Amino acid sequence: MTTRLAVIGCGQWGQNHVRTLKEIGALAAIADGNAERASALSQRFEVPARTVDEVLADPGIAGVVLALPPRLHGPTARAAFRAGKDVLIEKPIGLDLADAQETARVAKAEGRLLMVGHVLRFHPVFEALDALVREGRIGTVRHIVSTRLGLGRFLGMDAVWDLAPHDLSLVLHMAGGAPDAVDTLRRTVLSDETDAADIALRFPGGLTGEIHVSRISPYRDRRFSVIGTKGMITFDDLAPEGQKLAFYGHEVWRDGSHFAFRGADADYQPTEPGLPLDRELRHFLHCIETRQEPRTGSAEAVETVRILNLASPRAAPA
């Protein structure tokens, strides 16, 4: 592996990037504000711990992965672009639309790649679902539902900003464009921020979507469903292997002045193995080497921040 990356920000998720890049053979350095953590990771993964300035000044480092508090993503990414680095930024890339747009503008002006870490776009089960929908297995797509429920993660951001970016990325990809209307019902229950929310999206042409997120649910639910005119398909991330992708040949049709329907049992679809983060990072490396625009590029990154601000205007700094 000749393309080398550095990870800036080595908290819980940043460490996953460090470990995965080490396994790939593309890890050049790490940087973290916590000197003790940086030293421990440096020894564990046998990689230099450097300052951010040292990373950006190193010509042997082609790109950086930013896993920082979101308020730091924009300024750090822009400095990296100006230093000639390509950047993968963990979601969200910023906390307001103007900051996100400026980050995208600088990336373009400097001729650098900006990729946002929407890791579920690289999940092999989602990729299989996407392929089935594109080939017309469920007919015309009419509605999309994404659910992300569980307990925990009270880390200075509300549930919309912490959880919904994953789902927004999937919905935006399936819809093929930006929504023209966003309506949100938010609820503060056990903390001082939004703990649960329902986001309704309307797209040009009549396609609709809904996203349900909660960090106060007594049970976990990670499902993504696409409803079409000839059937429905669901990606259940918590289902056993072999049952994560299910096609339902449900049908609904007009019968005179009424509607009739026919249900069908789940038809589980084959999927490939693979870890989403490994696939995401290998895609970023491929884009650096080929100058191909990332699948989760600047347009999607900015649009996600725009919708998040509409869905939850009071974003707490993280």
* Tens digit of each residue's pLDDT (9 = 90 or more) over 224-238: 999 999 999 999 999
pLDDT of 157 reads 83
Confidence tier at 317 by pLDDT (50, 70, 90)? very low
Distance CA 224, CA 213 (A): 12
pTM of the model as a whole: 0.94
What's the CA gap between 63 and 55, in Å, rounded? Answer: 9
Mean pLDDT of 190-200: 95
Cβ neighbours of residue 212 under 8 Å, at least 6 residues apart? 145, 146, 147, 148, 149, 197, 198, 199
Overall average pLDDT of the 247-266 stretch: 91
Residue 1: pLDDT band (50, 70, 90) is low
- The mean per-residue pLDDT over the stretch 251-268 comes to 91
Q: In the predicted model, is pLDDT for residue 315 greater than 50?
A: no
Contact 62, 1 (CB under 8 A): no
Look at residue 318 and tell me whether its pLDDT is greater than 60: no
Average pLDDT, the chain: 95
Question: What is the mean predicted confidence (pLDDT) over 87-100?
Answer: 96
- Report CA torsion sign: 241, 283, 67, 176: negative
Confidence of residue 153 (pLDDT cuts 50, 70, 90): confident
The pLDDT assigned to 314 comes to 56
pLDDT of residue 152: 81
pLDDT of 286 > 50? The answer is: yes
User: Tell me, what's the pLDDT at 136?
Assistant: 96
